[in-house]
Structure 1
Amino acid sequence: QHRRLLAPAFHRDVLRPYVAIFNQSTHVMHAKWRAAAEAVGGTVALEVLEQLSLLTLDTLQKCIFSHESHCQEQPSEYIKAIMELSTLVVRRQRHPLHHPTWLYHLSADGRRFARACATVHSFTAAVVQRRRQALERLGHQAWLESHQGRSMDFIDLLLLAKDEDGNPLSDEDISAEADTFMFEGHDTTASGLAWLLYNLACHPHHQERCRQEVHELLKGRDVQDIEWEDLSHLPFTTMCIKESLRLHPPVTAVSRRCTEDVTLRDGRIIPKGVICLMSIYGTHHNPDVWPEPQVYNPLRFSPENSKERSPLAFIPFSAGPRNCIGQSFAMAELKVVVALTVTRFAVRLDTGRPPRRKTELILRAEDGLWLLLEPLPGVA
C-alpha cells in the first residue's frame, strides 16, 4: 500500500529538478578536492567513500527536506547520528549477545544507538510537523501556490499522497518513509560511486572514453552542468556504471519470503513461507551467465550484448514488485557525479593502498577506498 503511495514521488517529472541538486553538491565536493590538491601541489590521495557518503547525504537532505545542511563543509549532528547508526547496526550483527533487544538497550552501544535514533527521528518529525501545520493553516490550494518557484521535495509529496479511500499518510508514516530514504539512499549510492571511480581508475582507457563522451555532450555550453535531458545521452558512461554495479554491487544480498512452493530445476522444493537469502554478488559473478566474471568490461551492457540476457542476471536494485523504488534517483545521481568528476579530475589507483572488499550493510573496503585525484588543466 505504501509503495503505491510512494510511486509518484519517484516519477521523472519529480526527479528532473533534483539533477540541479546533484550538480550543486558535486561542485562542493570538487572544490574540496581541488583545495586538497593545491595544498600538496598536484595529485592528492583521498579516501573517497567517506567523501562520497557526505555528498549523497548532502543531496538527500536537500531532496527530502529542502534542508541546506552544509554537511560536506562543516559538522552536522544529524549527519553524525546517521553515520553512527550505520556503524552500530553492523557491530550489533556481529555481537550475538546484543541481538536480544532488551540486552542491547542495557549496553553502551545500545544507549548510543537510542541517542542517535532520537536525534534522527526528532529532526524528521519536526520537519513533517512544520509542513503539516502550514498545509492545514493555508489550505491545499494556497499551500501549493506557496511552492511557486521551488520544486516539491519528498516530504511535500508524501503530505499530498492519499490512498484509494482518500486517506493521507500519518505524520509517523511520512517520517518513517523519509528516514528509510535517507538510510537506504546514502550508503548504497556512495558505495556505487566509490567502486565506479575505482574501476575507472583501473581502466584509464574507459575513463578517457567517458571523459570524451561528456566533453562532446557539453561542447559549446556556458555552464558545465549536467541536465536531465543529458542523462539519456551518455551511453558509454551508463555501460561503465552498470558494469561497476555488476562487479561491485553495493547491496550484496537480499532476502525474500516465498509466497508459494518453489520447484527448483533439480526437482527439490523450497516450501512456502521459507525466507531465502539471494546473493546479488553471486548472481553477478556466475560464470554461466557472465563469462570471465572478474573482468571489468562495460561492453557487456551494449544493446547487442544485452539482447539475449535474462533481466534477472543483473539485479543491483533487486527485482520484482519489491525492487528498489529509488533506482532511477540513484542512477541519475551516479551519472551526474561521475560525468562531472571525469571532466575535472584524472582518477588513478593508489597502488600503495589496494582496496580489499568488505561486506557490511553495503560493499565497503577495509581501511577505506583510496584513490589519487589530479585536477585537470583548464577546468575551474
Structure 2
Amino acid sequence: METSWLEMRWTRSFYLVFVLFLTLVLLQAIKLFLRRQQLQRVLRAFPGPSPHWLIGNQKLFQNGDLELFEEFVKKYPCAFPAWIGPFEIFFQIYDPDYAKTFLNRSDPKSQYLYKYLTLTIGEGLVSLSGNRWYQHRRLITPVFNFNTLKSHSRIMAQSINTLLDKWEKICGTQEAVLEVFNDISLMSLDTLMKCTFSKDTNCQINSAFDDYTKGICEASEIIYKRALSFLYHHDIIFKFSSEKHQLQKISNNLYQYTDKIIQERRKALKEEKEHGKTDNRNYRDFLDILLSAQVEHDNSFSDTDLHAEVNTFMVAGQDTVAGSLSWLLYNLAQNPEHQERCREEIRGILGDESSITWDHLSKMTYTTMCIKETLRLYPTIISISRQLSKPITFPDGRSLPAGMTVVLSIWGLHHNPAIWENPKVFDPLRFSPDNLEKRHTYSFLPFSAGPRNCIGQHFAMTEIKMAIAMILLRFEMTLDPTRPLILVPKIILKPKNGFYLSLKKIS
C-alpha cells in the first residue's frame, strides 16, 4: 500500500520540527558548557570547595551548616566560589577590605533573591536600584529621624509592657520555662503596627494575626528555597510548582491587608480636611510620612510604590528585631555575669525614676556593647548579595567580571578568626572605645555599610535597647539545658524549634 501524499508531508514536517528541536537543545547545551568553562577560567585565582557536577555546593546552604561554612572561611582567605547547580555561582566574600570595595559600589541587588522577594512585597528599598532607589530613600529618610524615633520609643514601651505583663501572668511568683521567640515576634509586630499604621491590633493577645505572621514565614522559606534551587531559577519551572501558588496567595493576602489600612487612612484624612477635624495623635507614623510624600511627588511615587514600602518596612522590621533581641537574651542568659552588669547599669541610669525613656538609652554603654557583640555573633541578616554591573578588582589584585553574583557573608565576616580573636566567645569588651579604634571599619556589618546601609538601623537599636532594659528590670533569665538553641540560616536567622528561657520575676 502506497504512502499518501498527506502522510509523507506530515512525516517530513515532524522530522523537520524534531531536528530543529534537537538543534536548539544542542545549541543551548553548548552555550551552557561554554559558560561553565568561562566561569572556571575566571575563578582559577579563587580556590574553593569541590562542587558536585550537578548540584554544585548547594548542600552547604540547603543544610544550613554554619560550622562547615566557618571551616571554609578559615581554609580559603578572603573569598571562595560556591556553585549553585552546574552553571551559576554565588561568590562568597568575608574579608573587610573586600567588603569595603564591594559595598562602596552601586551594583544592583542580586536577581536570584531580590527578584523573587518582589513577588511578595513589591519593589521597595530592599530591591530597588539606581535613581528609583535614591528617590525612595530620600522620601523615606524622615521616618527615621531622631524626633520621630523619640515619639516611637513611647509606643515601643507600651508593646514591651504588654509582653512583660503576659510573661508575669504566666510565671507568677515561680520560675517558669517559656518559648520566647514567638512572643517577642508578636511584640515586634505590635510595635510595627502602631508605628507604621497607628493601629492597636492587640496582636500579642489576639490570635487573629497568626495567619499574617505565618504567611510571612512561609514566604521567606519559599523565596530562600527558590534562590538555592537552580531549577527554580527558571520562571517556567517555578510557575508550575505548588510553591508559586502559595507565594501568590501570601502576596495577595498581604496586599489586601495593607491596602485596607491605607484606604481607611485616606478616608479619615479626607473627612478631617472636609470637617476641619485634627487627629489627636502626638506623633507621625510611617504611613503619614509616605502619604505626604505621595502628595508632594504624585507622578513619581505611585500607589504601587506606597504598598511596596509599607510591606518592606513591616516584613523587614519584624523578624530582624525579634531575632536580634532573642539572641541577646540567649547570650545574657548564658553569661549571667554580663546579665547582672547590664541590669546594674540600667538601675543606675534609672535612679529614682520609674520607667525607661528615650533620654536613658544613650547612657546604656555596657548594654550597648552586649547588643553589638550579639549582632556580631548572631547577625539576623547573614548575607547581602549583588550582581556586578561592571568588573571588580579587590585590594589583593584578584578580579571578577561583570555579571557575577557576589554574596557578602556577614556571618563569615563576623566569625572570621583572621579578624576576631576567639570569634565564638561572647565578649562585649570587643566594642569598648579602646578596641573600636583598632578594628577595621568594615569588620562589623550587622546593618551593612556604604550608601545602601540599613535605613532602619536606629529604629531597630532603639527598640532593642528599650526592650532589654525593661526585661532586665523585671526578670532574671537562665537557659533551659534540655532544649538547646538550634539555628536555621534562611533569609533571616531563626531558631529551628523555638527558643526557650527560664524566667524568674524579680521581686
After TM superposition, the score normalised by the length of structure 2 is 0.69
Question: How far did residue 171 of structure 1 move?
Answer: 2.2
Question: How far did residue 37 of structure 1 move?
Answer: 1.0
8 Å contact kept, 1:85–1:113: no
Partner of 2:452: 322
- Matched position secondary structure for 1:23: helix
Partner of 1:211: 343
Per-residue CA deviation, residues 87-127 of structure 1 (Å, 9 max, x unaligned), is 24314543646665565565554444333322221121122
Q: 1:365 to 1:292 in 2, by over 3 A?
A: same
The letter for the 1-side match of 2:155 is I
8 Å contact kept, 1:160–1:168: no
Partner of 2:65: none
Question: How far did residue 264 of structure 1 move?
Answer: 2.1
Q: 1:76 to 1:98 in 2, by over 3 A?
A: farther
> For 1:140 and 1:158, how far apart are their aligned partners in 2?
21
1:344 has 2:474 as partner: yes
The letter for the 2-side match of 1:361 is I
8 Å contact kept, 1:19–1:227: yes
> For 2:309 and 2:298, how far apart are their aligned partners in 1?
19
Could you tell me the percent identity over the aligned residues? 39
8 Å contact kept, 2:216–2:315: no
Aligned match for 2:151, one of 3, 17, 31 = 17
The letter for the 1-side match of 2:180 is V
The RMSD of aligned alpha carbons is 2.4
The letter for the 2-side match of 1:57 is L
8 Å contact kept, 2:219–2:250: no
Partner of 2:126: none
Aligned match for 1:114, one of 248, 252, 263 = 248
Q: 1:140 to 1:325 in 2, by over 3 A?
A: farther
After TM superposition, the score normalised by the length of structure 1 is 0.90
8 Å contact kept, 1:5–1:162: no
> For 1:176 and 1:205, how far apart are their aligned partners in 2?
44
Greater Cα offset, 301-310 or 145-154 = 145-154
Partner of 1:84: 215
Aligned match for 2:502, one of 372, 375, 378 = 372
Per-residue CA deviation, residues 208-245 of structure 1 (Å, 9 max, x unaligned), is 01101111111211x32x21111101000000000000
> For 1:325 and 1:192, how far apart are their aligned partners in 2?
17
8 Å contact kept, 2:447–2:457: yes
> For 1:245 and 1:140, how far apart are their aligned partners in 2?
49
Partner of 1:264: 394
Question: How far did residue 140 of structure 1 move?
Answer: 11
Partner of 1:5: 139
Greater Cα offset, 164-173 or 257-266 = 164-173
The letter for the 1-side match of 2:192 is L
8 Å contact kept, 1:196–1:241: yes
Per-residue CA deviation, residues 265-316 of structure 1 (Å, 9 max, x unaligned), is 3322122343211100111111222111111000111111101212211100
Partner of 1:37: 171
Question: How far did residue 257 of structure 1 move?
Answer: 2.9
Q: 1:337 to 1:167 in 2, by over 3 A?
A: same
Partner of 2:195: 63
1:335 has 2:465 as partner: yes
- Matched position secondary structure for 2:438: coil
Q: 1:344 to 1:106 in 2, by over 3 A?
A: same
- Matched position secondary structure for 1:348: strand
Q: 1:261 to 1:163 in 2, by over 3 A?
A: farther
The letter for the 1-side match of 2:286 is F
> For 2:296 and 2:307, how far apart are their aligned partners in 1?
21
8 Å contact kept, 1:253–1:278: yes
8 Å contact kept, 2:224–2:490: no
8 Å contact kept, 1:49–1:368: yes
Aligned match for 1:306, one of 436, 447, 454 = 436
Flag structure 2 segments of 5+ consecutive residues without an equivalent.
Answer: 1-134
> For 2:500 and 2:396, how far apart are their aligned partners in 1?
45
Partner of 1:26: 160
Partner of 2:302: 170
Partner of 1:281: 411
8 Å contact kept, 1:92–1:99: no
The letter for the 1-side match of 2:359 is E
8 Å contact kept, 2:378–2:411: yes
Partner of 1:151: 283
Partner of 1:132: 266
8 Å contact kept, 2:224–2:491: no
Per-residue CA deviation, residues 189-215 of structure 1 (Å, 9 max, x unaligned), is 111011100000111010001101111
- Matched position secondary structure for 2:260: helix
Greater Cα offset, 326-335 or 17-26 = 17-26
The letter for the 2-side match of 1:8 is P
The letter for the 1-side match of 2:211 is K
Question: How far did residue 139 of structure 1 move?
Answer: 4.8
Aligned match for 1:123, one of 249, 257, 261 = 257
8 Å contact kept, 2:175–2:504: yes
Aligned match for 2:367, one of 214, 222, 237 = 237
Partner of 2:225: 94
Greater Cα offset, 86-95 or 279-288 = 86-95
Greater Cα offset, 110-119 or 276-285 = 110-119
> For 1:27 and 1:276, how far apart are their aligned partners in 2?
42
Q: 1:216 to 1:164 in 2, by over 3 A?
A: same
> For 1:98 and 1:269, how far apart are their aligned partners in 2?
29
> For 1:236 and 1:92, how far apart are their aligned partners in 2?
38
